[in-house]
Amino acid sequence: MFFLYVIRSVVFILRKFKITSSTAFPGLLVEKYFPHLVPVLLNKLKDVIVITGTNGKTTVASAIHYILENSGKKCFINASGSNMLRGILSHIIINLDNKLNLEHDYSILELEEATFPKLVKYIKPKLVIVTNIFRDQLDAYGEIDKTFAYIKDGIENSNNPTVILNASDQRLVHLYKCSNRVISVSVSEEVKKYLFLERYYEKPQELDIHPDVFIHNIEQKDIDHTLITFEYKNEKYDLETSILGLHNAINLIFAWLAVVHLLGFNDTDNKRFLDILGDFKPAFGRGEKINISNTEFILMLVKNPAGMNMNLYSLSDIISANDAILFILNDNIADGRDVSWIWDCDFNIVNRFQNNVILVSGIRKDDIALRISYEVKDKEIKVFDDYEKIFDHIMQKEYKRVFVLPTYTAMLSVRKFLYSKLGIKQNL
């Protein structure tokens, strides 16, 4: 068959020139010139787990992958965050074996909201996880109702998968009206206050929801120790994790619940999955730590007001006078051209920080510096043109830790820069 020769040729070229999953070129090639191969490739995916929503997709997908792999299952995952069609096609092509097979037990797909309904005509999700719906990239998605419509259409046009959703997000509660089996996660009013969720979640609707998992408390004891207390089927559980960020606690519970649904048989198995999850390290750029000399750089991706506020709140009790905070704002296509979202962020939280200097960089560095100056008092704001100058400043000041809050393309570039200082080449 002709398409077999095409795929073999593409795979041969990729391997010969050592092209990795960091590029969407193979998928772009198929999408543009060989569209009839799209269903052929996507049909190779089996037992598909879809993760969609505004925030937390990569962390949830990575955590599910970690638990399943450590439970003896082989997984396919679009791990570099390529959550659009061409990126997924690229991952499939690059991971095909010599017989053009894809060896795996489960497929874990992180899908951006608008891509989800487009792919369900090719894939058959076994499980769909919906994390939340926040304002995000208004120039791409418009208002939240449009984002919700994408997700709802994707679920309704799928092959009746089980849906795991965030029942504390009242917009998502409307998905109970779908015919699918729904498993829900909810958080206490106390946790909503911790995470600033009250300002993003609408008031409860008329539906009376009894969540399957209820998160009672999230306690961040220090930068490397967060304790999550929750209840599932009348059993109390604790998860201790080194993942930074109170909001990431919910993402980890989504991952645990997904594996319990797929593999869990009894309380012993469920606790074993928690033990595995306790050793999980964050996905790249989402709490990732990079040590250079005596300074630890912690990357904390931000892309909308909800993410910014949750990250800032997570830092408010742990950042010290020997630490620095670095904001990097870009407006490339992957970040969203419209950066007006920074005016919806609560930078007043920064006034609680013990440190006295704020570092700023990125394509829209002047915009973020101006925005911060409106709310942050008695702290110096230093604006830098490039990473080398920032790095020199940080090394000179000998900061203990630098908390880096970058937008998506800024995260990729600063991550690459920092690893280059360690002599490590990063393709992501």
Confidence band of 12 (pLDDT split at 50, 70, 90): low
pLDDT of 244 higher than 90? no
Q: Tell me which fold the domain 286-421 belongs to.
A: Protein-Tyrosine Phosphatase; Chain A (3.90.190)
> Is there a contact between 26 and 89 (Cβ–Cβ < 8 Å)?
yes
* Percent of the chain residues topping a pLDDT of 90: 48
- Tell me what pLDDT residue 270 has: 92
Q: Which residue has the higher pLDDT, 14 or 303?
A: 303
| Calpha distance 312→279 (Å, rounded) | 24
- Tell me what pLDDT residue 197 has: 53
Confidence band of 109 (pLDDT split at 50, 70, 90): very high
Confidence band of 428 (pLDDT split at 50, 70, 90): low
pLDDT of 18 higher than 80? no
Enumerate the domain spans of the chain: 2-278, 286-421
Chain segment 275-302, per-residue pLDDT in tens: 999 999 887 888 899 999 999 999 999 9
> Is there a contact between 407 and 329 (Cβ–Cβ < 8 Å)?
yes
Which of these ranges, 79-93, 238-252, 256-270, has the smallest mean pLDDT? 79-93
- Tell me what pLDDT residue 205 has: 53
- Tell me what pLDDT residue 426 has: 67
- Tell me what pLDDT residue 255 has: 97
Judging by beta carbons within 10 Å of its beta carbon (0-12, 13-18, 19+), is residue 60 exposed, middle or buried?
A: buried
pLDDT of 15 higher than 90? no
- Tell me what pLDDT residue 419 has: 95
Selection from 375, 428, 377, 372 nearest residue 405 by Cα: 372
- Give the three-class secondary structure for 175: helix
Q: Which CATH number fits domain 2-278: 1.10.3720.10, 3.40.1190.10, 3.40.50.2300, 3.40.50.2020?
A: 3.40.1190.10
| Calpha distance 384→174 (Å, rounded) | 45
DSSP string, 18-51: T--TT--HHHHHHHHH-TTHHHHHHTT--SEEEE
Chain segment 141-176, per-residue pLDDT in tens: 557 788 888 999 999 999 889 999 988 887 787 787
- Tell me what pLDDT residue 188 has: 84
Helices and strands, counts by H and E, the chain:
16, 15
| Calpha distance 22→87 (Å, rounded) | 9
- Tell me what pLDDT residue 117 has: 92
> Is there a contact between 131 and 251 (Cβ–Cβ < 8 Å)?
yes
pLDDT of 323 higher than 60? yes
Selection from 155, 156, 150 nearest residue 129 by Cα: 155
- Tell me what pLDDT residue 401 has: 94
What is the value of pTM for the model shown? 0.88
DSSP string, 64-133: HHHHHHTTT--EEE-TTS--SHHHHHHHHHHH--TTS----SEEEEE--TTTHHHHTTT--EEEEEE---
Selection from 401, 405, 346, 399 nearest residue 376 by Cα: 346
- Tell me what pLDDT residue 23 has: 63
Cα torsion 166, 171, 128, 250 to 10°: value is: -20
- Give the three-class secondary structure for 52: strand
> Is there a contact between 48 and 88 (Cβ–Cβ < 8 Å)?
no
| Calpha distance 286→300 (Å, rounded) | 5
- Tell me what pLDDT residue 328 has: 98
| Calpha distance 64→70 (Å, rounded) | 10
pLDDT of 19 higher than 90? no
pLDDT of 91 higher than 90? no
- Tell me what pLDDT residue 189 has: 79
Which of these ranges, 82-91, 212-221, 255-264, 389-398, has the smallest mean pLDDT? 82-91
| Calpha distance 148→135 (Å, rounded) | 11
